[in-house]
Amino acid sequence: MKRYLSAGLKIGERRYPAEHVVVWLGLAALCLPPLALVQGAEKTAMAAPPASQVLWYDQPAGGWEAEALPIGNGRLGAMLFGATEKETVQINEDSLWEGDEKDTGWYQNLGEFEVALPQAKPVTNYRRELDISRALHTATYTSDGVAFRREAFASFPDQVMVFRYTADKPGSHSGTLTLKDGHDAKPVIGPNRLTAAGKLKNGLQYESQILVINDGGTLTATPAGIAFQNVISLTLMVGAGTDYLNQRDKGWRTGEAPHRKVTEQLDKAAKRQYADLLAAHVKDYQALFSRVRLDNGKTDAAIAAQPAAKRLEAYKQANAKDPELENLLFQYGRYLLIGSSRGALPANLQGLWNNSNTPSWRCDYHSNINIQMNYWLAETANLPECAEPLLSYIFSLREVRTEQTSSEFKSKRGWTVQTENNIFGGSSWEWNTPGSAWYCQHLWEHYAFGGDGTYLKTVAYPVMKEVCEFWEDRLKALPDGTLVAPMGFSPEQGPREDGVSFDQELIWDLFTNYIEASQALGVDPEYCQKVTAMRDKLLVPKIGKWGQLQEWMVDRDDPKNEHRHVSHLFAVHPGRQISPTKTPALAAAAKVSLKARGDAGTGWSKAWKISFWARLLEGDHSYKMYSELLKNNIMPNLFDTHPPFQMDGNFGATAGVCEMLLQSQAGELHLLPALPGAWGTGSVMGLRGRGGFEVDMAWAECKLTSVTVRSLTGKVCQVRYGEKTVELKMKPGAVIRLSGDLSTGKK
């Protein structure tokens, strides 16, 4: 937290002074765990976490994709198998990309290291676990009467990953450590350090290092790696970096090989005690993770005591109830976002965990649903800091996208995107013309939830305005004056033609957000009027011949089309143009379309359907999607599979649960709008609503029993539960508690 206070917040190339974040942090702290708990992180580090916050297994992982477990600090990541004799740990650094402005390239594998610990005796009492309440991976087992324990975590404050090997008998660790670079760079082997440095084909310099610290015994450099003998405890500090910089004017490079920085990070961490590193990590992580808690019911103790893979298998049996596993999947999405989105770059198709140099879909930033879905939870599930890498990324691409857009569309102002995108401004596949409008939704929502006017003015607003200008120049008037986007493309449907609903709805969203932004800032009143006039002339989605929401201006939707993309329902979610309360006829048509597309779907498609049904206020259908996703699209390590593994489904699932419990897109906090019957009694703490609110709720027998609203910004707060609404006038920092019938009483 101190780091934020002294350094302020960085968005794009701008850094906001500490005073802008102090208010936010102070208010956010209201829903942190009691201070004593945070300060006592070191002491409590060994306390057993609740069953709904642990993934555990009774055997080592078999495969990378479905069984290995991820740790990450938002920039560095590792996948752990927990094998006892030969433990392989695969590692990533989020800027290790091939490609450039012309070639989209692929996100790359950094490499792996192996710790060989030959054991004479069979292993008993094996357990590996990922505790997402502390972001700590542990493997324990007994061999030859010796109890071994390994811990691993990825520290954000220290920018290293730490792996610790201990045993209850001194001198029990003898073996070797080797490092294998993902691009065959030959490691330099020192007495206590392995270094693999290389250059990708695009000239990107990278380096990984492992610093070995032994307590007792000996370390010896060998031709293959480092041998350790009779060591009491072994600690590995793993660091990595590249010379990537998210600035085009610097050629996307820092201009400095990563060696110095990585060495410094490891040397600094190595001076600290392991317990201190762990405590600092847990404190930092929990400051984000502990903001939201969910209780959606208790699992039968016998089921909760099972390993995660067995629980998942049991869950697939129609009658097995495991609300704590559902809760685990919800919180896992938050864990994964914290683990993959705290560096300079946003979470990609696999967060940041990738073991291939030619991963599916380049493991890229896909602009037609995937990168957006990755961030649906960031604001609602109270991780707004994790949205910042996305906002910086959007900002960093403006110049190159403006050039590319101008060459493609002969445009003079603004920019947009293609579908596949890398980190150097390179892109490929279909132009996704309303893609930049969708990005702008994220820029706007960061303000809508957090209320930071300086951010809105200096970061979000200029981008939103230039994208409005792009559409101002491009929209085409039909003979009756209706405005349509020319030559649009409903993702993966085609054909290219005018007035595609996906485009129309996104432009409506952009214009509406722009209008609100300009009014909030009190700037550009004339342009705001112009945008309002354009918005009001946009072709709105029509209801077609079988009662469906038309995907195109032409009424040609095929009721048998069960394609996973349901882009014409953007207006329902994450947009706000269609809702059962404000536009009931269109909402009914959206329902007809959604039913026709069917309940099936690949991971992310299924995840989107959780939110669609929640926005249509059908909690049980929304829950059906969530539950089916868990049954059909989630692997034993709880990664979502498309197939293959794609993390958007994890993020989208968490976002969907938020939509079931709290909505705020219509200018009011709508409490429990789609609470499923399956979660009849429960509570949630720390969800965020637009307008700068945090909300805690409790319910019993599917009825709200109490709600606490905290105001971050002092905006008037309209609260809805069912048909009842109340208006609360709240000062910044005020906390109001209401009972289930929304009667007030100040806390």
| 273: Cβ contacts below 8 Å, ≥ 6 apart | none
Helix residue ranges per DSSP H, 568-713:
584-597, 603-615, 619-632, 648-661
- Please give the size of the binding site for ligand FUC, defined by CB under 6 A: 11
Which residue's C-beta sits nearest to ligand FUC? 361
Task: Decide if 571 contacts 538 (C-beta within 8 A).
Answer: no
Hey, what amino acid is at 356?
S
Cβ proximity to ligand FUC, 119 vs 360, nearer residue:
360
Least distance in angstroms from the C-beta of 101 to ligand FUC: 21
Task: Decide if 375 contacts 346 (C-beta within 8 A).
Answer: yes
Least distance in angstroms from the C-beta of 365 to ligand FUC: 10
Strands 669-671 and 717-721, by their bridges, are: parallel
Distance CA 2, CA 445 (A): 26
Cβ proximity to ligand FUC, 356 vs 406, nearer residue:
356
Q: Give the length of the chain.
A: 747
Cβ proximity to ligand FUC, 420 vs 694, nearer residue:
420
Q: Considering only the stretches 197-205, 365-373, 649-657, 720-728, report the one whose residues sit in contact with ligand FUC under the rule CB under 6 A.
A: 365-373
The residue whose two tokens read 């809105």 is 456
Cβ proximity to ligand FUC, 565 vs 606, nearer residue:
565
Least distance in angstroms from the C-beta of 349 to ligand FUC: 6
Q: What part of residues 480-539 is at the interface with ligand FUC (CB under 6 A)?
A: 492
Least distance in angstroms from the C-beta of 442 to ligand FUC: 18
| Residue 361, Ramachandran bin (φ over 0: left; ψ between -120 and 50: alpha; else beta) | left
Least distance in angstroms from the C-beta of 360 to ligand FUC: 7
Q: Considering only the stretches 219-227, 366-374, 471-479, 519-527, report the one whose residues sit in contact with ligand FUC under the rule CB under 6 A.
A: 366-374
Q: What part of residues 305-364 is at the interface with ligand FUC (CB under 6 A)?
A: 349, 361
Task: Decide if 397 contacts 220 (C-beta within 8 A).
Answer: no
Convert residues 570-609 into a mask of x (bound to ligand FUC by CB under 6 A) and - (unbound): --------------------------------x-x-----
Helix residue ranges per DSSP H, 481-602:
501-521, 525-537, 584-597
Cβ proximity to ligand FUC, 24 vs 604, nearer residue:
604
Distance CA 81, CA 72 (A): 15
Which residue from 233, 286, 370, 711 is in contact with ligand FUC, where contact means CB under 6 A?
370
Cβ proximity to ligand FUC, 200 vs 363, nearer residue:
363
Dig out the tokens for 636 from the structure: 């034993």
Q: How far is CA 719 from CA 31, 68, 105, 723, 744, in A?
A: 20, 43, 48, 10, 11
Kindly state whether residue 366 participates in binding ligand FUC, applying the rule CB under 6 A. yes
Distance CA 289, CA 334 (A): 7
| 508: Cβ contacts below 8 Å, ≥ 6 apart | 535, 538, 540, 571, 575, 577
Which residue from 642, 688, 690, 710 is in contact with ligand FUC, where contact means CB under 6 A?
642
Cβ proximity to ligand FUC, 612 vs 679, nearer residue:
612
Cβ proximity to ligand FUC, 368 vs 396, nearer residue:
368
Helix (H) / strand (E) element for 91: namely strand 86-93
Kindly state whether residue 144 participates in binding ligand FUC, applying the rule CB under 6 A. no
Least distance in angstroms from the C-beta of 363 to ligand FUC: 9
Cβ proximity to ligand FUC, 602 vs 664, nearer residue:
602
Cβ proximity to ligand FUC, 52 vs 646, nearer residue:
646
Convert residues 444-483 into a mask of x (bound to ligand FUC by CB under 6 A) and - (unbound): ----------------------------------------
Q: Backbone phi, then psi, for 311, in 5-degree steps? A: -60, -40
Which string of b and e fits 345-372 if b means at least 16 CB within 10 Å?
bbbbbbbbbbbbeebbbbbbbbbbbbbb
> In this structure, what DSSP letter does residue 386 have?
G
Task: Decide if 745 contacts 735 (C-beta within 8 A).
Answer: no
Kindly state whether residue 404 participates in binding ligand FUC, applying the rule CB under 6 A. no
Q: Which residues bind ligand FUC (CB under 6 A)?
A: 349, 361, 366, 368, 370, 492, 565, 602, 604, 642, 646
